Structures are given as C-alpha cells and as structure tokens.
Amino acid sequence: LPKNRPSMSAKQIHVLFREDLLKLNTISKETKLLCHYHIDTAEPLFSLKESLQKKTEQCVEERKHLRYKIRADRPEEEIQEMKEQIKVLTEKIGTLRKEAALCDGIAARSKVIEEKFKMMREEKEKKEEQSHEHIRRSR
C-alpha cells in the first residue's frame, strides 16, 4: 500500500467499510496470500485451497506415522529426531490450515465487498440526482 497517502479519519470512511477496517489484519493476511500465490480470480483460489487441504492431509498422515514409530522400542537419539520432525510437521500443518481458512475468508469477503460497492454506487447516484434536482426544476 502507498505510504504517502494522507490518513483518513473514521468519519471520512464510508459506513459500509468501517466494519472491514476493524478486520484489517485479516484482510492484509488475505492480500499477502493472494499476492504470494499470484491469484486474481476465484478459480485459482479454489484450486489453491484444494491443494492446501491435500498437503495438510499428507502432513497429518506423515505425523501420525511418526507418532506410531515413536511407540516402538527405538534408541533415544532416533526418538528425539522423530519428535523434531513431528514438531516441524505440526507447525507446517498449522500454517497450511491458516492459509486454507484465509482462502475461505477471501471467497466469502469477495462477494460481500462486491455488494457493498454496488450499494455505495447506488447511494452516490441517488445523492447526485438529489443534488441536481433543484437545477432541473428551475429549467
């Protein structure tokens, strides 16, 4: 986002967008995800979500397999190595799940924002008509 833009007060922001301003942190994470994966339409977004879910399932299976291996009688060094692998997999699973949740949020929010823009445009058009009505009446 541009850094040289003047800041806006809460009153200058349209009512429909104030709620989104409160969710700015989530929106910025969603934006970073879109930029990172170069997503510009809904189709790649849904394919990304599907691939993230598949990766998550693979990591969960791998972690489960490692947990079963730990139960067997093994040397302590090997068990510690497996625990480190499990820790890494757990972090990766968390990241993948968060990204999949962001994909859901993006899909839901894109429809809502589109509707808000339509409502805002309609309000603007009505205001313009009302402001120019005194000119039409004087003719």
pTM of the model: 0.66
Burial 103-125 (b: 16+ CB within 10 A, else e): bebbeebeeeeeebeeeeeeeee
CA dist list (Å): 38 to 35, 41, 45, 109 = 5, 10, 10, 18
Looking at residue 14, its pLDDT comes to: 73
List, for residues 51-98, the tens digit of each pLDDT value. Answer: 999 999 999 999 999 999 999 888 999 999 999 999 999 999 999 999
Residue 110 banded pLDDT, cuts 50, 70, 90: confident
Count, residues in the chain = 139
How far apart are the C-alpha atoms of 12 and 56, rounded to whole Å? 43
Residue of 122 and 63 predicted with greater confidence: 63
Structure tokens at 58: 């693979």
